[in-house]
Amino acid sequence: MSDTTPQPAPRIDIAAVGDALLGTWKTERLASRELAADPRLHTIPGQPMAEHRERAFGQLGILVEHGAIQRAFPRALGGGDNHGGNIAAFQELVLADPSLQIKSGVQWGLFGAAILHLGTAAHHERWLPDVMSLQLPGAFAMTEIGHGSDVASIGTTASYDPETEEFEIHTPFAGAWKEFLGNAALHGQAAVVFAQLITRGVNHGVHAFFVPIRTPDGELLPGVGSEDDGVKGGLNGIDNGRLHFDHVRIPRTNLLNRYGDVAADGTYSSGIESPGRRFFTMIGTLVQGRVSLDGSAARAMSAALAIAVRYGNERRQFPGASSRETVLLDYGQHQRRLIPRIAQTYAMTFADEKLLTVFDEVFSDTRDTDENREDLETLAAALKPLSTWAALETLQEAREACGGAGFIGKNRLTGLRADLDIYATFEGDNNVLLQLVGKRLLTDYSAQFKNADRAALAKAVASQLGDRVSRFGLRQLGQSIADLGQVARSVESVRSPEAQRALLTDRVQTMVSEIALALRDATKDVPKSNQRAKAIANENAFNAQQHKLIEAARAHGELLQWEAFTEAIERIADPGSRQVLTWLRDLFGLGLIETHAAWYLVQGRLSGHRAESITAYIDRLITRLRPHAQDLVDAFGLTPELLRAEIATGIEAERQQEAHDYVEAQRAAGAWPIHEKELRAQQKSAAKRASA
Cα 677 versus chain centre, distance: 53
Three-state SS for 414-453 is: HHHHHHHHHHHCCCCCHHHHHHHHHHHHHHHHHHCCCCCC
Phi and psi torsions of 167, nearest 5°: -100, 145
Q: Which of residues 145-184 bind a second copy (CB under 8 A)?
A: 145-150, 153, 155, 172-176, 179-180
Closest CA to 597 of 616, 615, 619: 615
The answer to whether residue 429 forms part of the interface with a second copy (CB under 8 A) is: yes
CB nearer a second copy, residue 459 or residue 680: 680
Based on CB atoms, which residue is closest to a second copy, 600 or 636? 600
Decide whether 318 or 691 has the Cβ nearer to a second copy: 318
- Segment 348 to 387, residues that bind a second copy, using CB under 8 A: none
**Binding-residue pattern over the window 532 to 561 for a second copy, x denoting contact by CB under 8 A:** x--xx-xx---xxxxx--x-----------
Give least dist CB 590 to a second copy, A.
13
Name which of residues 81 to 100 contact a second copy (CB under 8 A).
Answer: none
Q: Does residue 528 bind a second copy (CB under 8 A)? A: no
The bridge status of strand 261-262 relative to strand 268-269 is: antiparallel
Contacts of 288 (CB under 8 A, 6+ apart): 83, 87, 109, 113, 359, 363
User: Which residues in 224-263 contact a second copy (CB under 8 A)?
Assistant: 229-234, 236
CA dist., res. 229 & res. 226, Å (int)? 10
Is the separation of the CB atoms in 102 and 235 below 8 Å? Answer: yes
The span from the CA of 438 to the CA of 441, in Å, is: 5
How far is C-alpha 280 from the chain's CA centre?
22
Nearer CB in complex with a second copy: 378/607: 607
Residues in contact with a second copy, total (CB under 8 A)? 108
520 binds a second copy (CB under 8 A): no
Q: Pick one of 382, 413, 499, 515: the residue that binds a second copy (CB under 8 A).
A: 413
Q: In the bound complex, what is the minimum distance in angstroms from residue 240's beta carbon to a second copy?
A: 8
Which of 4, 120, 414, 579 is in the footprint of a second copy by CB under 8 A? 414
The verdict on 430 binding a second copy (CB under 8 A) reads yes
Please give the residues from 392 up to 411 whose contact with a second copy meets the rule CB under 8 A: 392, 396, 399-400, 403-404, 406-410
Single-letter code of the amino acid located at 308 = A
Within 570-629, which residues bind a second copy (CB under 8 A)? 594, 597-598, 601-604, 608, 611-612, 619
Q: Residue 427, by phi and psi: left (phi above 0), alpha (psi -120 to 50) or beta?
A: left
Task: By CB under 8 A, name the one of 426, 472, 588, 617 that touches a second copy.
Answer: 426
The alpha carbon dihedral of 499, 505, 508, 511 has a sign of negative
Closest CA to 377 of 296, 320, 436: 436
* Cα gap 386→198, rounded to integer Å: 38
Element (H, E) at 636: none
Determine, following the binding rule CB under 8 A, whether residue 143 of this chain makes contact with a second copy: yes
Cβ proximity to a second copy, 125 vs 150, nearer residue: 150
The interface with a second copy within residues 316-335 (CB under 8 A) comprises 316-322, 325, 330-333
- Which residue, 21 or 552, is less far from a second copy as judged by CB? 552
Closest distance to a second copy from the beta carbon of 366 (Å): 33
Q: Are strands 190-199 and 157-161 parallel, antiparallel or unpaired?
A: parallel
46 binding a second copy? (CB under 8 A): yes
Scanning 113-121, 312-320, 445-453, 626-634 for contacts with a second copy by CB under 8 A, the matching segment is: 312-320
